[in-house]
Amino acid sequence: MTASPGIRLGALSVTFGRAIRALDRVTLEVGEGETVGIVGESGSGKSTLCRTLVGLTRPTAGEVEVLGEPVTVALRRDPRGYRRRIQMLMQDAVATLSPRMTIGRLLAEAVAIHGLDRDETEERIRSFLGRLRLPPSILGRYPHEISGGQARRIGVIRALLLRPRVLVADEPTAGLDVSVQGELLNLLMEFQRELDLTFMIVSHNLHVIKRVTRRTLVMYLGQIVEDAPTRDLFARPAHPYATALISTNPLLAAEDGGGAIILRGEIPSNAALPPGCRFHTRCPVARPVCAETMPELEPTAAGGQVRCHFPGTLARPGTGAA
Amino acid sequence: MAGPLLEISDLRLSAGSGKGAAAILRGIDLALARGRILGIVGESGSGKSSLVNTIMGLTPPGLRAEGRIVLAGEDLLGLSPVRMRALRGHRLAMIFQDPMTALNPVFRIGTQLVDVIRNRHPGTVPAAVEAMAVEALGRVGLPDPGRRMRDYPGQLSGGMRQRVMIAMALVCRPELLIADEPTTALDATIEAQIIDLLRRLRHDFQGSIIFISHNLGTVMQLCDEVAVLYGGHLVESGPVRAVLRRPLHPYTRALVGCEIDDRPVDAPLAFIPGKVPETTERPGGCIFADRCAYAAAPCRTTAPRLAAQGDDRRAACLRLGELP
């Protein structure tokens, strides 16, 4: 792994109330400047992971370090400084913009709180507006007067004005039309490269993750079940859950679009987790041991990690391989 | 049977008058044969939901619907509200993106399903109604349907609720089932289950389906035909594979082009610059001209008509013959 990790999680657990285990001993290292995607369904812990990184959710146990410093220490020592270094794009971009303030004031507020130079920031806001193809007149508008795509771009400006080194994006394109999602993703990728951001992006859209990240984490019920270079994951998923998830998202151009693996049953509740492997209740290739022993994350030959007793045994439709 | 099940001609939906008048649907022509599944695609604001709500007679007060919506020989727009209400739940049924808005949270799902069956098949003895309800829930893959009858909607997951909605729609044995983004709010593996269910159900369901989705991949998997809407116009229609693999209209081309492809991480993603027209805009020419990569001078002054392109395809573009 990298010498200076952007993000390091050590056996991070988050439990809500007594019973709801949102994250369960998640261990992870993300290098500075790395772009990592997270995929998984409801209850997988994607959003909790993001919120814990920015300090919105407190860990129940384990360690969270960002840029070499534990989050709890950083937040105590210099909370504003910490929040400048790590910024988050929320899923509901419109909801993050106060309806009583104009866009211009919303951006100025962030600048004032963090005591940035006003003239210089004004200059940067103008240049951001130009690059994000937003008219300067938008600064005088209220959030309800702008479109969802514009609200997201304003969110990006507000996050980047503070010159963060880590950017966490929770479903940045959810609810956006495909006609505009590409534009937003292009900008995020450009900024990631330009500013050498450590970038974590959560999406339920696997195509998005495939196109914009080099490494992907697949999560299920609070655990990482597969962690692999994005190309390898999509070409040869090792975990049966990853295999099924990928099969439900065929590319439009794929000749065989109907080859989805249909998993049985529903995602179990975080309050009543299955014993053994958490995926065994829905796994097409589960064997008796899977109901008894929880598999650990083990390295794969391809350089990733997988949490499965029998990795690679679920055949993908259309490949003929088992 | 002769003729299409549904035939829509020059359907317009508008509000207000004078300068602030809004045009939501701007003259839709569309036909759907019996037993076929039609996908409707287009960006937010293209008129997809307005179109199906108008078919269902669910247009909010203040909106004017003009034109013809003929379902098996009967013009729905000319019907009285009483007659229209009688059609819903008999010949027409609809499932929505969020089942919670259609299920009553304070009644057991069994009660709600039984109500629908009693309304559709009056005179059936209670035991038979109950049996039909349990059977319907079983058919849509609800585990332990007898026990689930006693659950309240809030006790079910999103996927289960959508199954209940599908069961409710199917006990009506509608001639036309409308599904407005029924899987958008569901997780990927649950969405795959529901799409698989709809695909299997079509074999024992005789009616036609209109399926709205923003996911072209899902439309390709499920539908026979597709209609592409833009700014209240139908800009292209035809067999789903032909349209999505070899789109004719520049808008369909752009939309298909935005689908994420297999190119490497560093290659930029496609998007359509500009935004969908407001309902209050009245372009003199083609509705898509402002965002079209191929627009020429006549496109700004002359509105194209939807014209046949070969046997079973239609597209509305002045420059079709000249496009690369």
pLDDT tens for the 322 residues of chain A, in order: 445 789 999 999 999 988 899 999 999 999 999 999 999 988 899 999 999 999 999 999 999 999 999 999 999 999 999 999 999 998 888 889 999 999 999 999 888 898 888 888 889 999 999 988 899 999 999 999 998 888 999 999 999 999 999 999 999 998 888 888 999 999 999 999 999 999 999 998 898 999 999 999 999 999 999 999 999 999 999 999 999 999 988 777 766 555 789 999 888 989 999 999 999 999 999 999 999 999 999 999 888 999 999 999 998 775 544 3
Pure H helices in chain A: 46-54, 71-77, 79-85, 103-113, 118-131, 148-161, 178-195, 206-212, 230-235, 240-247
Nearest-neighbour CA in chain A from B62: distance (Å): 23
Check if A207 contacts B (Cβ < 8 Å): yes
> What is the torsion angle, in degrees rounded to the nearest 10, for the CA atoms of residue B250, residue B252, residue B253 and residue B256?
160
- B43 to A214: CB separation less than 8 angstroms, yes or no: no
The Cα–Cα gap between A71 and A86 comes to 10
3-state secondary structure A2-58: CCCEEEEEEEEEEEECCCEEEEEEEEEEEECCCEEEEECCCCCCHHHHHHHHHCCCC
Residue partners of A94: CB distance under 8 A and separation at least 6: A143, A144, A148, A151
- Determine contact, residues B183/B113, Cβ cutoff 8 Å: no
Q: Could you give the ipTM of this predicted complex? A: 0.86
- How far is A65 from A9, CA to CA, in rounded Å? 6
Give the C-alpha separation, A230 to A209, whole Å: 8
Provide the 3-class DSSP secondary structure of residue A198: strand
The residue whose two tokens read 């072209």 is: B216
Contact between B258 and A230 using a beta-carbon 8 Å cutoff: no
Question: How far apart are the CA of A5 and the nearest CA of chain B, in angstroms?
Answer: 22
Judge whether A42 is closer than 8 Å to chain B, CB to CB: yes
pLDDT digits (tens, 9 = 90+) for B259-276: 887 788 878 999 998 888
> Which tokens belong to A198?
């450590």
Alpha carbons B270 and A211: distance in angstroms, whole number: 12
Instruction: State the DSSP H helix or E strand holding residue B48, giving kind and residue range, or none if neither.
Output: helix B48-55
pLDDT tens string B87-145: 998 999 999 988 888 899 999 999 999 999 999 999 999 999 999 999 999 999 998 99
Residues 6+ apart with CB under 8 A from A137: none
- List, for residues B190-247, the tens digit of each pLDDT value: 999 999 999 888 877 888 999 999 889 899 989 999 999 999 999 999 999 999 999 9
- Cβ(A157)–Cβ(A119) below 8 Å: no
pLDDT at position A27, please?
A: 96
Could you tell me the pLDDT band of residue B186, with boundaries at 50, 70 and 90?
A: confident
pLDDT at residue A190 in the model: 94
Q: Does A204 touch chain B (CB under 8 A)?
A: yes
Q: Which fold has domain A33-57+71-213?
A: Rossmann fold (3.40.50)
Residues 6+ positions from B106 with CB-CB distance below 8 Å: B152
3-state secondary structure of B26: strand
pLDDT at site B109: 96
The candidate with the shortest Cα–Cα distance to A14, out of A54, A42, A50, A52, is: A52
User: Stretch B32-47: mean pLDDT, rounded?
Assistant: 94
One-letter amino acid of A193 = R
Tokens read off for B282: 């009245």
If you measure CA to CA, which chain B residue comes closest to A235?
A: B262
Predicted local confidence at residue A322, as pLDDT? 36
DSSP state of A107: H
- Which of B191, B217, B271 is closest, CB to CB, to A182? B271
Residues 6 or more apart whose Cβ sits within 8 Å of residue A267: A41, A42, A43, A221, A282, B187, B189, B190
Per-residue confidence band for B178, with pLDDT thresholds at 50, 70 and 90: very high
A69 contacts: CB under 8 Å, gap ≥ 6:
none
Residue A302's pLDDT is 84
- Band of pLDDT at residue B2, cut at 50, 70 and 90: low
E-strand ranges in B157-302 read 176-180, 208-212, 225-230, 233-239
| Chain B contact probe: residue of A39, A41, A178 with most B CBs at under 10 A | A178
Tokens encoding A98: 């106060």
Shortest alpha-carbon distance between residue A188 and chain B (Å): 11
List all residues 6 or more positions away from A173 whose beta carbon is below 8 Å from its beta carbon.
A152, A181, A184, A185, A203, A205, A208
| pLDDT for the residue A3 | 53
Q: What is the pTM of this model?
A: 0.90
**Average pLDDT for chain B:** 92
**DSSP structural state of residue B88:** B
d(CA B177, CA B180): 10
Q: Which of B37, B30, B66 is nearest to B236 (CA)?
A: B30
Let me know: does A186 contact A179? Beta carbons within 8 Å.
no
**Look-up: residue for tokens 């439709």?**
A317
Nearest CB partner across the interface for B192, out of A210, A262, A265: A262
Q: How far apart are CA A226 and CA A239, in angstroms?
A: 6
